[in-house]
Structure 1
Amino acid sequence: MRVLIPSIAAVPVLALAACSSGATTADAGPPRAGGTLTLAVGSNPDCLDPQQAGTNASLNVGRQLVDSLTDQDSATGEIKPWLAQSWEVNADSTSFTFHLRTGATFSDGTPVDANAVKTSYDGIKALGAKSQLGVGYLAAYSGATVVDPQTVRINFSSPNAQFLQASSTMSLGLLAPAAYQKSAEQRCQGDGLIGSGPFVFTSFKQNSEIVISKRKGYAWGSSLWKHQGEAYLDAVNYKIVPEPGVRTGSLLSGQLTATTEVQPVDEAQFQGNGFTEQTRPNPGIVFNLQANVSRGVLSDDKVRQAITKGINRPEVVDTVLSPNYKPATSILASTTPLYTNLSQQLAFDPAGAAALLDADGWVSGPDGIRVKNGQRLSASVAFAAVFNQSQSVLELVQQQLKKIGFELRLDQRTAAETVQLQQTGNYDFFWYNVTRADPDILRLTFSTKTTNRSKLAPGNPIDAPLEQQAASLDPAVRKPAAEQAQRIIVEQAYSIPVFELTQVVALGPNAHALGFEASSRLQLFDTWVSGA
């Protein structure tokens, strides 16, 4: 299942000025200021405004431009101070009061104060569906109250415990009031993108590059960052390079400082010889086959449960991916706060799958695919090749399921078409993942009162634990509710988890301390380059 690539001598490279080899990570010495990080990304950002963006390419830029009220510890999931020094939450999680630090300003010189927070949150709410992630975080937003210049209260019409974590994301990062004098479309292109972050927008050439520059005088970084003051880098030059082989060749030849989206087949080339890899599994919903339980053979829970048992997840990782990836052990990735290990329920068990189908009346047909009352045991999976290995993974899963008598038909679509399918529900299986460092992503996806991607009937038992975990920040309440929700989804096979997505970034010898925030987006404040 692995894809062969030409030898590196035959791989095309970018037309960039080559970098000097410089020091290795081991002997580079202490961090130093200055220099430019030349970083390849795999796609043209759909929008640079972090309040609107939804793709990794976009968010990896936008995260550097805006600050958030809070930050989230990527190791523990704990919420920590950033623009807000402290906060209080009322008993039913409908009101969140933030006390802002003093001295922070936007890049146009205006203060980051309570009025700016209100303007920004009102602006995100007004975006509606254009705010691909923020619209969900602020679904029950009823407004913000300016208590005093440095105190703002964010109000919701229903319990919303997930908001505290959402306040740490770049999707709810703050823009200056003046930014909203520009249209949403203008902000997507960088026009009026006025944040308070450690970098400022410089230029955007479609399908070519994005440049951001150091914010002079920046002094209000997250409490989780390794140093205070200004960022080390003078600039970051994001090169838009869709072809994995070109990214690989350009980094190996010294024409890039680092590259995102390293493919599994290329990883070994960046292990040693001065190159390093930075990896982090994405929190949130793992790559999975989301079942539409309202149609076809997938309306039968025994069929869905048999499919769960018929997938050999370790084989998927070992054959198509790499040791940097993990087989799914729940519907949530293991890096998600309040994750529950359900690896026993997701164990490969072809005999168990066959027994379920036998008892359910499905018998082997002439081509090995089971049939029942003239109906073929078959369903399609709609997918877009956003993750390069998706087709290879699904082809292997297709082979695995054929051995238990199930036919999985692959239906590749464009990214735009998959968005439309999500909205209409016109699919059998839907292949996707969602990054979010909070278990509430399950409510936004599975609740019959929200997007309900599995098309569950109203009153499904999944709703109760999803609402319970959304109503309280108390771990004694939230953890068992989140666990129950994960168990219901996996045991009823509303979704069939396959593997955890991992961000793999390769660094050349001159790049150091590239980091990830809790949602596995790049954090470049502490990053520095040697040999500059």
Structure 2
Amino acid sequence: MRIRTRAAIGLAAAATVALALTGCSSGGSSDTAGSSGSVTNGGNLTFAIANDPISLNPSGTGSGNDTLYVTRQLVDSLLYQDPKTGDLKPWLASSYTVNSDATKFTFTLRSGVTFSDGTKFDASAVKATFDDIVAAGAKSTAVSSLVGYTGSTVVDPSTVEVDFSKPNAAFPQATSSVGLGIVSVGTTKIPYDDRSTGKGVVGTGPFTLKSYSPNVKTVLTKRKDYDWGPADRSNTGAAHLASVTFQVVPEASVRSGSLSSGQVDVIGSVQPTDVDTLKGGGYPLVTRTNPGLAFGFSFNEARPIVKDEKVREAIAHALDSKTIRDTSLNSLFPVGTSALASTTPGYKNESSFFEYDLASAKKLLTDDGWKVGADGIRVKDGTKLSLKVAWITNFSPNQTTLELAQQELKKAGIAITLQSSTVPDFLKTLTSGNYDLQFGNNSRADGDILRTSFSTAATNYSHLDDPTLEALLQKQQATPDVKEREAVIGDIQTRLASQYHEIPVHELTTILATAKGVTGVTLGADSRLDQLTGASTTAK
């Protein structure tokens, strides 16, 4: 699916750009799915997740997707990103405008919305939420969406103005995320660290927290008065379910066994190796390709060998990504065709740059002065073409993928050493620069993920020296017109591909499995669990 938001209307006389919250898609396909069928009211749905949420503070630092699955049920967002079309649509905000340089955003808020403690949702809550995230700094996973934030102004109870010191055209999409979900003013008065257990966390969402037992389970109960879900949802009112229990089950095989034995109703983090077994048993799958950076290789271009574009291009042509995907994964995971995954706003197919051609890879290296040594590994000026690859162990097929890549690159005379680690150690490696390539992905339903990944003004792990690319990355952030911004995001992908700064291998896909009697479980535009207002299961 190519996510395209098409409704940008220029108002030159007012020097603003008014963005309606509707649009149309320009094509592509989507793996978004949800079990469907008759609806049953009442009952508890038990959802097995792999990790403890760690933090029930919506903007806090948790354990990734499993945290967001839970906190998405507690909070609503200003905007809703339609997973089928990618359009930004009304939710807590009925409309918004943005000025000509994407530094001022004015939201008109929906009336009649209340927090779960009965207080009214209004502009002061939006201001308090954003101010709170910025004050939390690195403690918040959402603070990166508010870079340059100078404050919010309560114009009146139903109007809030959000200001930035520099352009932030990606901000509207960010407001659809869980991390920028709106909490009550009262919540923001509780010390940030104290909210991790859910203490005092009050949102406008369709469920509220009943209990949280770390590393065991989180129990949510429905709000009977909820009545303001996004219009495109099958159910915009109160949830059909009476409660939802997120049960921590770390081992994938145990989660699958719990589903087949009827102990749970839904399981997350389904491994590719379990897909055929689950499908054969008649368990419906809910799948969607993750937006953002596809799984692939990027380089530490401060290192002399990979600073050479010819070496990077040779690596690209020496990798048979389809064979790697087919061996380590399955057809649910698309072969990578660009730095961006195909479900990302502004995705552009750049596969022509990455065609498998071993002969071409060998010629590129030979012409570049790399000669085949006695052990088959190439050498130039006494230096072996031997590279360190940093990667994370949090997705089990990564090891198989990289071992296959290791075998294929060796055919071209390139040796790679695999340097695996946990997420914290991986980040330390990136910071130290003790690597040549990194293998990984990063999910977000907006092309600004390219800026945060490759800009020299961001983390700058790649140590790029590409002024053309940097100018494009900054330009997309400063372009409020949606069509124009997508064109720039396309140019960025072409630049990354043509200079071989990023080599895609495969896209990531989220896979859930449900019991046969479960209906209405869906994934959002971010390929994470959407709110469970439309879900139902046999009452129990």
> Please, what TM-score do these two structures have when normalized by structure 1?
0.92
Match of 2:80 in 1: 71
Assess if the C-alpha contact under 8 Å between 1:290 and 1:453 holds in 2.
no
**Cα displacement string for residues 437-493 of structure 1 (whole angstroms, at most 9, x for unaligned residues):** 110110111111122221113x62111111221112323421221111111112212
Assess if the C-alpha contact under 8 Å between 2:51 and 2:250 holds in 1.
yes
Assess if the C-alpha contact under 8 Å between 2:292 and 2:340 holds in 1.
yes
Looking at structure 1, the residues matched to 111 and 97 of structure 2 have their Cα atoms a distance apart, in angstroms, of 18
Match of 1:487 in 2: 494
Matched, 1:444 2:469: no
Looking at structure 2, the residues matched to 92 and 378 of structure 1 have their Cα atoms a distance apart, in angstroms, of 46
Looking at structure 1, the residues matched to 386 and 412 of structure 2 have their Cα atoms a distance apart, in angstroms, of 12
Looking at structure 1, the residues matched to 500 and 441 of structure 2 have their Cα atoms a distance apart, in angstroms, of 16
Matched, 1:518 2:521: no
Looking at structure 2, the residues matched to 366 and 209 of structure 1 have their Cα atoms a distance apart, in angstroms, of 57
Looking at structure 1, the residues matched to 404 and 469 of structure 2 have their Cα atoms a distance apart, in angstroms, of 31
Residue 478 (structure 2) aligned to one of 468, 471, 476: 471
Matched ranges for 1:340-419 at <5 A: 340-419=348-427
Match of 2:51 in 1: 43
Question: For residues 313 and 38 of structure 1, do their structure 2 counterparts lie closer, same or farther at Cα, with a shift above 3 Å needed?
Answer: same
Looking at structure 2, the residues matched to 180 and 26 of structure 1 have their Cα atoms a distance apart, in angstroms, of 35
How far is the alpha carbon of 1:111 from its aligned partner?
A: 1.4
Matched, 1:62 2:71: yes
Assess if the C-alpha contact under 8 Å between 1:284 and 1:439 holds in 2.
yes
Q: Give percent identity, aligned residues only.
A: 43
Matched ranges for 1:120-135 at <5 A: 120-132=129-141, 134-135=142-143
Matched ranges for 1:90-101 at <5 A: 90-101=99-110
Residue 122 (structure 2) aligned to one of 99, 104, 113: 113
Q: What RMSD in Å do the two structures reach over aligned CA positions?
A: 1.8
Residue 241 (structure 1) aligned to one of 242, 249, 261: 249
How far is the alpha carbon of 1:158 from its aligned partner?
A: 1.2
How far is the alpha carbon of 1:93 from its aligned partner?
A: 1.2
- Deviates most, 328-337 or 484-493: 484-493
Q: Which amino acid aligns with 1:212?
A: L
Looking at structure 2, the residues matched to 198 and 69 of structure 1 have their Cα atoms a distance apart, in angstroms, of 15
Looking at structure 1, the residues matched to 508 and 386 of structure 2 have their Cα atoms a distance apart, in angstroms, of 27
Residue 270 (structure 2) aligned to one of 240, 262, 280: 262
Matched, 1:81 2:56: no
Looking at structure 2, the residues matched to 200 and 531 of structure 1 have their Cα atoms a distance apart, in angstroms, of 19
How far is the alpha carbon of 1:45 from its aligned partner?
A: 2.3
Match of 1:136 in 2: 144
Match of 1:295 in 2: 303
> Please, what TM-score do these two structures have when normalized by structure 2?
0.91
Q: Which amino acid aligns with 2:127?
A: K
Q: How many residues align?
A: 506
**Cα displacement string for residues 245-270 of structure 1 (whole angstroms, at most 9, x for unaligned residues):** 11111111111111111111110122
Residue 315 (structure 2) aligned to one of 307, 310, 322: 307
Q: Which amino acid aligns with 2:404?
A: L
Looking at structure 2, the residues matched to 75 and 401 of structure 1 have their Cα atoms a distance apart, in angstroms, of 38
**Cα displacement string for residues 54-94 of structure 1 (whole angstroms, at most 9, x for unaligned residues):** 61111111111110000001122110000001111112111
Assess if the C-alpha contact under 8 Å between 2:61 and 2:140 holds in 1.
yes
Looking at structure 1, the residues matched to 480 and 148 of structure 2 have their Cα atoms a distance apart, in angstroms, of 17
Looking at structure 1, the residues matched to 296 and 385 of structure 2 have their Cα atoms a distance apart, in angstroms, of 20
Residue 173 (structure 2) aligned to one of 165, 180, 185: 165
How far is the alpha carbon of 1:187 from its aligned partner?
A: 1.4
Looking at structure 1, the residues matched to 397 and 250 of structure 2 have their Cα atoms a distance apart, in angstroms, of 14
**Cα displacement string for residues 294-314 of structure 1 (whole angstroms, at most 9, x for unaligned residues):** 014112111111111111111
Assess if the C-alpha contact under 8 Å between 2:35 and 2:286 holds in 1.
no
Matched ranges for 1:187-266 at <5 A: 187-266=195-274
Looking at structure 2, the residues matched to 73 and 392 of structure 1 have their Cα atoms a distance apart, in angstroms, of 34
SS class of match (2:236): coil
Question: For residues 69 and 248 of structure 1, do their structure 2 counterparts lie closer, same or farther at Cα, with a shift above 3 Å needed?
Answer: same
Unpaired runs of 5+ in structure 1?
Answer: 1-24
Assess if the C-alpha contact under 8 Å between 1:301 and 1:492 holds in 2.
yes
